[in-house]
Amino acid sequence: MDRNGSAYTFIFATIVTTVAAILLGSAATALKPLQDLNADVDKKSKTLLALGLYEDGMKAEAVQAFFTAEGNEGRIVKKFAVSHDGDVIEISDEKKLADLTLFTQVKNFEEADRKYPIYAYFESKADVAANKPSQYVVPIFGYGLWSNCFGVIALDSEGKTINNLVYYAHGETPGLGGEIEKPKFSESFVGKKVHDADGNVAITTSKSPVGDTQVMAISGSTFTMDGVNKMLKKYLTIYGRYLEKANQGGGK
């Protein structure tokens, strides 16, 4: 075959492209388990961060241990799911439960049929046996000004007080809405009350916060704050239905 001809060039390019595609595909397949593990550890780290349990440099094994039956030094985080009405949904498939997130269901507009993941934190095996979690962590998700924003909120055992709020992924404007991920914003929620005197979800951001259900809004970030307020209202209302039942003896 004439190496200077167009046929040779075409065949050579086809072979090189095919080999490169095979190598890239093989590499992606080989790396997928590691990528999935890293993604899982990252999500669990955010839950631990909200609970005040994550430490800088914590190894993946230590993070994963919290979510096992043995726990990390007896401290255990259990994940389960609740319905829109606050009832526990049994999910026997551990992988489906592990993969369950709010984001995977955003296209399902039938609120009554959705499953909402929630985490209960137990300080000891004895607390697990007695079903006495000391904190809960609930995920929140919604749109800010430019992007989807992902966060988690740690609540006390009754779901009435915020122990922490962590936004860990977003595409908001740096220096403005992007400040939602900063400790200054998160720390302003610590100790704040979820409900007003009538039992309605009242926690919100405000330019002039007053009382124990308002925190200082980030200046110049009106649309991001609107998104945050909608997330807080929506998900704390939904998860509040479960927490109310749990504290009346009807929960998990």
Per-residue pLDDT of the chain (252 residues; tens, 9 = 90+): 555 656 666 666 777 777 776 766 665 566 555 566 577 788 899 999 999 999 888 999 999 999 999 999 999 999 999 999 999 999 988 888 888 887 766 555 566 678 999 999 999 999 999 999 999 999 999 999 999 999 999 999 999 999 999 999 899 999 999 999 999 999 999 999 999 999 999 999 999 999 999 999 999 999 999 999 999 999 999 999 999 999 887 555
Whole-angstrom distance, CA of residue 164 vs CA of residue 186: 7
Give bridge partners of residue 141 from the DSSP assignment: 150
Question: Regarding beta strands 204-206 and 214-216, do their DSSP bridges make them parallel or antiparallel, or are they unpaired?
Answer: parallel
**Is the four-CA dihedral 140, 45, 195, 124 of positive or negative sign?**
positive
Burial of 89 (0-12, 13-18, 19+ CB in 10 A): middle
Write the DSSP assignment of 162-231 as a string of letters: EEEEEEEE--PPTTTGGGGGSHHHHHTTTT-BSB-TTS-B--EEESS--GGGEEEPPTT-HHHHHHHHHH
Read off the tokens for 160: 């009435």
CB 251 within 8 A of CB 241: no
Q: pLDDT value at position 169? A: 87
Q: pLDDT value at position 56? A: 87
**Which residue, 151, 194, 201, 147, is CA-closest to 174?**
147
pTM over 0.85: no
Q: pLDDT value at position 99? A: 84
Whole-angstrom distance, CA of residue 237 vs CA of residue 229: 12
Q: pLDDT value at position 101? A: 84
Q: Tell me the residue type at 155.
A: L
CA 178-181-182 angle, 5° bins: 100
